[in-house]
Amino acid sequence: MSTDRDDLGTPVPLTGPARRVVSLVPSLTEALVSVEPGAVVGATDWCTHPADLDVARVRGTKNPDLAAIRALSPDVVVANKEENRELDVRRLRESGVTVWVTDIETVPQAVASMARLFDFLGWHSPDWLAASRDLWCGDRPPVTRTVAVPIWRDPWMVVGARNFTTDLLRRLGWANVYAEDADRYPSVDLADLDAAGADVVLLPDEPYVFTADDGPEAFTRTPTELISGRLITWYGPSLVEAAELAR
C-alpha cells in the first residue's frame, strides 16, 4: 500500500492502481474517463461529458448519495474543495471510503493537480495534459479586452477573485473586471454589472443556462456574447479546446 497526500495535504492510502473510481466533479469525470473509461463506475448527475458516459449516478455535487457511493465499493472517490462539501468528504472517510480532494484556483494548479491525481491512481498521463501544460502554463499575454462573467441571474452573481475561471480568462488575454473583488462569486446589482466597464459580458450556459433569449436582453450598455461554460470553467480535456477562444 502506498500513501500520497491530496491537494489539501491529507494522507490518502491506495493499494495498487485504482480500478473503481467515483467522481464528484464533472470536469474531473471527463478527465478520468479519457484515460481509463472502464474504471469510472460512478459520477454525479451533472457529469455530462463524455456524452455517452454510462455509469451509476450518485446525485449532485452538493448533495451526493453517500449510500449509493459506498454501494459501488470504490477504490477512490475524487472530490474538489470548491465543488463538494467537506461534510460529505468527512462522512465518506469515516465510513472507510478513500477520498482524494483536489484544490484548484488557477490553470497551472489544475494541470499540476491532475498530473498528481493520475500518478496517485496509477494511471498514465494523457497527451491532452501535456498539451495543456504547453498551452497554458507560460507567461500571461497582454490584456486585449475586459470581461464580466455572470453565473446566475435573479439574483445576479458573477465570477470574482481567486478562482480557475478568472485565471483562465486572464491567460486568454481577457481581464475580469471583478478579479479584485473580495468574494470569489459576488452578488451584484444588474445596473452596476451593466456599468462595470467591461468590453463584453460573457454569458455561459452553466451553471445558469444563458441563451440568446435569456440574458442578453438584460443589458442596455454592455455588449454580450454567449460562451460555452465548459470551456471557461472546466479543467480537463476541454483545456485544449479552450485555448482556441483566444484566436
Predicted TM-score (pTM) of this structure: 0.94
Q: Taking a C-beta distance cutoff of 8 angstroms, is the pair 78, 5 a contact? A: no
Residues 6+ positions from 128 with CB-CB distance below 8 Å? 34, 236, 237, 239, 240
Q: Which fold has domain 2-134?
A: Rossmann fold (3.40.50)
Mean pLDDT of the 140-146 span: 96
Superfamily of domain 145-246: Nitrogenase molybdenum iron protein domain (3.40.50.1980)
Phi, psi of 89 (to 5 degrees): -60, -45
Tell me the C-alpha distance between 39 and 18, whole Å: 7
Mean pLDDT of the chain: 96
Q: Which amino acid is at 245?
A: L
Q: What is the pLDDT of residue 187?
A: 97
CA distances from 75 to 69, 78, 84, 98, 223 (A): 11, 10, 19, 7, 48
Tell me the C-alpha distance between 36 and 200, whole Å: 39
- If phi > 0 it is left, if psi is from -120 to 50 it is alpha, else beta; for residue 96 that is left
Give the tens place of pLDDT for each residue, 4-18. Answer: 999 999 999 998 899
Q: Taking a C-beta distance cutoff of 8 angstroms, is the pair 20, 41 a contact? A: yes
Angle, alpha carbons 115-118-124 (nearest 5°) = 100
Percent of the chain residues topping a pLDDT of 90: 97
Could you give the angle at which helices 26-35 and 107-121 cross, rounded to 10 degrees? 50
Give strand pairing partners of 13: 3
Q: What is the pLDDT of residue 229?
A: 96
pLDDT at 1 over 80: no
Domains 2-134 and 145-246 share a fold: yes
Q: Quick one: cell of 29?
A: 469525470
pLDDT bin (cut points 50, 70, 90) of residue 88 is very high
Chain-centroid distance of CA 73 in Å reads 25
Give the tens place of pLDDT for each residue, 219-239. Answer: 999 999 999 999 999 999 999
Phi, psi of 184 (to 5 degrees): -70, -35
Mean pLDDT of the 108-127 span: 97
Mean pLDDT of the 65-85 span: 97
Give the tens place of pLDDT for each residue, 159-197. Answer: 999 999 999 999 999 999 999 998 999 999 999 999 999
Tell me the C-alpha distance between 37 and 58, whole Å: 17
Tell me the C-alpha distance between 168 and 93, whole Å: 32
Domain ranges of the chain: 2-134, 145-246
